[in-house]
């Protein structure tokens, strides 16, 4: 499984599959690097095999989205921010067809508007770029930052509900 993320500065990062923490697992705050905050991303989950995909066909290669929280130390700069275990907190997958063009992502009490139609266009372009150089496979994940959402402090003990549209996709537990 490939996990590729574009950060707010436009850099591409690759993460190992051991970086993924699923919805039901808590995230354990590391002792080093405190304080920690979480940045929100939205991820497209690849649903079929492909290489050299044209942009007009890109939408056929993913069928669900999920919200991802990427924990980072408040003082960024570590070479291992994306490669360490537990660096991607992944929520439930929501079928693209079930999402409105304009929806919201809620992190705790704060709610932020998200233009899903614009994000899908960005995923189409990203998928084409990736598929030009790599074979994309079922289960691969492409992540884009949700720049509208402010980073959230990840301080133990914390339980935070995250929703996409009206569906709760994650209950983040920081231990």
pTM of the predicted model as reported, rounded to 2 decimal places: 0.91
- pLDDT confidence of 79, banded at 50, 70, 90? low
pLDDT value of position 99: 93
- pLDDT confidence of 7, banded at 50, 70, 90? confident
What proportion of the chain, given as a percentage, has pLDDT over 70?
98
Q: What distance lies between CA 55 and its chain's CA centroid?
A: 21
Query: Angle at Cα 102 formed by Cα 117 and Cα 144, nearest 5°?
Result: 55
Phi/psi of residue 98, nearest 5 degrees: -90, 0
Domain with residue 66: its CATH number is 3.90.850.10
Provide mean pLDDT across the span 84-96: 93
3-state secondary structure of 139: coil
The kind and range of the H/E element at 141 are strand 141-145
- Domain extent at residue 80: 3-174
Instruction: Work out the mean pLDDT of the chain and round it to a whole number.
Output: 91
Calpha distance 172→160 (Å, rounded): 5
pLDDT value of position 80: 73
65's CB contacts (< 8 A; 6+ apart) are: 42, 43, 44, 45, 93, 94, 96, 99, 116, 119, 164
- pLDDT confidence of 11, banded at 50, 70, 90? confident
pLDDT value of position 60: 97
What proportion of the chain, given as a percentage, has pLDDT over 90?
69
In 16-101, which ranges are E strands? 20-21, 36-46, 62-73, 88-90, 94-95
- pLDDT confidence of 31, banded at 50, 70, 90? confident
pLDDT in tens, 123-175: 999 999 999 999 999 999 999 999 888 899 998 889 999 999 989 999 999 98
Q: How many domains does the chain have?
A: 1
Provide mean pLDDT across the span 40-58: 96
Structure token digits, residue 146: 């949700």
């Amino acid at each position: 499984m490939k996990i590729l993320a574009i950060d707010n500065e436009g850099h591409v990062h690759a993460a190992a599959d051991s970086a993924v923490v699923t919805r039901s697992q808590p995230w354990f705050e590391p002792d080093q690097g405190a304080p920690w905050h979480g940045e929100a991303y939205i991820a497209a989950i690849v649903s079929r095999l492909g290489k050299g995909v044209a942009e007009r066909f890109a939408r056929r290669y993913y069928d669900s989205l999920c919200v991802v929280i990427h924990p980072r130390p408040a003082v960024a700069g570590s070479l291992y921010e994306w490669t360490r275990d537990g660096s991607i907190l992944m929520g439930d997958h929501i079928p693209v067809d079930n999402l409105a063009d304009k929806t919201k992502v809620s992190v705790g009490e704060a709610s932020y508007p998200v233009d899903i139609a614009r994000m899908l266009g960005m995923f189409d372009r990203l998928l084409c770029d990736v598929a030009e150089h790599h074979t994309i496979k079922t289960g691969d994940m492409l992540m884009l930052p949700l720049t509208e959402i402010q980073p959230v402090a990840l301080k133990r003990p914390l339980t935070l509900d995250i929703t996409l549209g009206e569906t709760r996709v994650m209950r983040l537990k920081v231990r």
